[in-house]
Amino acid sequence: MRIARFIFSLLLAVGLLALPGPSRTQIAVSVSVRIGPPVLPVYVQPVCPEPGFIWIPGYWAYGPDGYFWVPGTWVEPPEVGLLWTPGYWQWEDDSYIWHDGYWGTEVGYYGGIDYGFGYTGIGFFGGYWKDNTYYYNREVTNVDVTVVRNTYNTTVVNNNTTINRVSFNGGPGGTTARPTSREIALEHQQHVRMTAEQTEHQQAASSTRTLLASVNRGRPDVAASQRAGQFGAHGAATSGRNVRTNNAPDNPKETNRQGNPPMTSQPQSAPANPALEQKHQREQDQLRQQQAQERQRIEQKHEQEQQNLQQRPTNDPKRQDTERRQQQELQHLNQKHEQQQQKLQQKQQEERQKQKPEKPAPSKPSRQDKPASQQ
C-alpha cells in the first residue's frame, strides 16, 4: 500500500508540473496496485451541455486513500477531430496496472471494458467527426436536439445475456479482450494526453470523500456530471447498483496458468466423469482456435483496407465510413463468438446433467405401513 501511495504521489506531482497546455505523448502506464477495482456503477448519462463536447466515461482511479470514482462527464476536446480512448485497468505480473486514456483521431484499445454510451469494449459508436463538426448518435448518447442539432441514429447491438460491468482486463473475472493489429498500431502513434480540465476533474474527485470506494462501497452518490468538476450541480447523475469488489486471487500465477480452469466464486467439486471433461476441453480448444483464425482473417482484411486508405486525410468521408464499418464488423464478430461460447457451454452443461445419477424415487409405503387413520 505504501509503495502504491508513493507511486501515485510521484505521478501526481509529475502531472501537475506538466499541466499547462495539452502535449502529444505516447500511452502512459501509471499506478500499480494489488487489489482490483470495484465493478462499474450503472448510471444515466447527463444531457450534453453544448455542441462539440465529447463524453468521457467514469472510471475508478487510485489515490492515497484507495480507489475513488471519477464521474463521467462532458468535456471539450483539445483539438477538433480528436476522440477519447478511455483508460483501463489490466491484471499483469501479480498487480493491477492502470493504462492512461488519451486523445487521438481514432478510438484505440481500452481493455474490452464496456463503459457504455458508445464505448462497447471495442471501438466507439457514440459519434464521429465530419467537416470539423461532431455528430452524436442519439441511440447511445443523451442530447437535447434543441441545443445539439448534429445528430444521427444508429442502433448499437449488445447481445450480452447478463449485465457485465467488469472494470479490468485479464486475470480471473476480468475481460478477455486482446488488441487487434489496428489497435496495436494506434497505440504506437502520437497522442494528446488528458486535458487540464480532465486533470482538475479527477483531482476534485480524489478530494471528495463520498467518491471513495471505501466510503460508498462501489456506489458513488455522484456517478456522472454534466460538466467537469461540478458534482453537485443540476444534471449530475447518481448510481444504483450493488457493489462487487474484484480482489486479487491467492495464487494468481497458478490460477492463470494455461490449462487451469478460471477462478470462480464457488468451489468446484472434482469432475464426476474425467473422460467427459477431457472431451469438453477439446471442444473448447477447438472453438477458440476457430475463432482466433476467423479474427485473424478479419484483422488482415482490415489492415489491407487501412493501407489502401493511408493516402486519404483522416476526415475523408470514405475513410471514416470504412473505419466505422470495421468497428461494426469487429463488434459483430465478438458478439458471434460470445454466442458460440454460450451455446457450447449450455450444451456441455446439459451433457453433465445427463451424466449425474438419478436420485431414487421415494418408495411408496405398503398398505400395512400406512397409518390406521388412512386404512
Same domain, 14 and 88: yes
Domain boundary among 254, 279, 306: 254
* Helix 317-355, helix 274-308: angle, nearest 10: 180
Q: Which of 129-133, 167-171, 225-229, 361-365 has the lowest mean pLDDT?
A: 361-365
Is the confidence at residue 182, as pLDDT, over 50? yes
Residues 297, 246 share a domain: no
What HEC string does 233-274 produce? CCCCECECCCCCECCCCCCHHHHHCCCCCCCCCCCCCCCCCH
Whether residue 269 is contained in a domain is answered as no
The structural domain count of the chain equals 2
Q: pLDDT grade, residue 164 (50/70/90)?
A: low
Query: Does residue 216 fall inside a structural domain?
Result: yes
The reply to whether 250 and 292 lie within a common domain is no
pLDDT surpasses 80 at 86: yes
Q: Supply the DSSP symbol for 219.
A: -
Shared domain check, 226 and 77: yes
Distance CA 41, CA 241 (A): 6
Task: Supply the range of the domain harboring residue 296.
Answer: 288-350
Residues 28 and 106 in one domain: yes
The dihedrals phi and psi of 10, each to the nearest 5 degrees, come to -65, -45
| In the block, residue with C-alpha cell 461540478 | 230
The mean-pLDDT minimum among 146-150, 265-269, 346-350 falls in 265-269
Choose among 28, 45, 51: nearest CA to 102: 28
- Residues 29, 101, single domain; the answer is yes
How crowded is residue 73: how many other Cβ atoms within 10 Å of its Cβ? 27
Helix (H, G, I), strand (E, B) or coil at 44: coil
In this structure, the answer to whether residues 171 and 38 fall within a common structural domain is: yes
> pTM score, two decimals?
0.60
Say whether both 207 and 119 belong to one domain.
yes
Q: What cell numbers appear for 310 in the block? A: 493511408
Instruction: Find out whether 74 and 46 touch, Cβ atoms under 8 Å.
Output: yes
Query: How far is it, in rounded angstroms, from Cα 24 to Cα 190?
Result: 6
Q: Which range among 33-37, 340-344, 362-366 shows the weakest confidence by mean pLDDT?
A: 362-366
The mean pLDDT of 230-252, rounded to a whole number, is 50
Q: How far is CA 217 from the centre of its chain?
A: 20
Residue 372 pLDDT grade (very low, low, confident, very high; cuts 50, 70, 90):
very low
What span, in angstroms and rounded, lies between the C-alpha atoms of 97 and 212?
19
Measured from the Cβ of residue 76, the count of other Cβ atoms closer than 10 Å reads 13
- The tens digit of pLDDT for each residue in 214-237 reads 999 889 999 999 999 888 765 566
**Cα gap 27→19, rounded to integer Å:** 16
What's the mean pLDDT when you consider all of the chain?
76
Residues 6+ apart with CB under 8 A from 134: 51, 52, 54, 127, 128, 150
Whether residue 162 is contained in a domain is answered as yes
* Average pLDDT score over residue span 248-259: 33
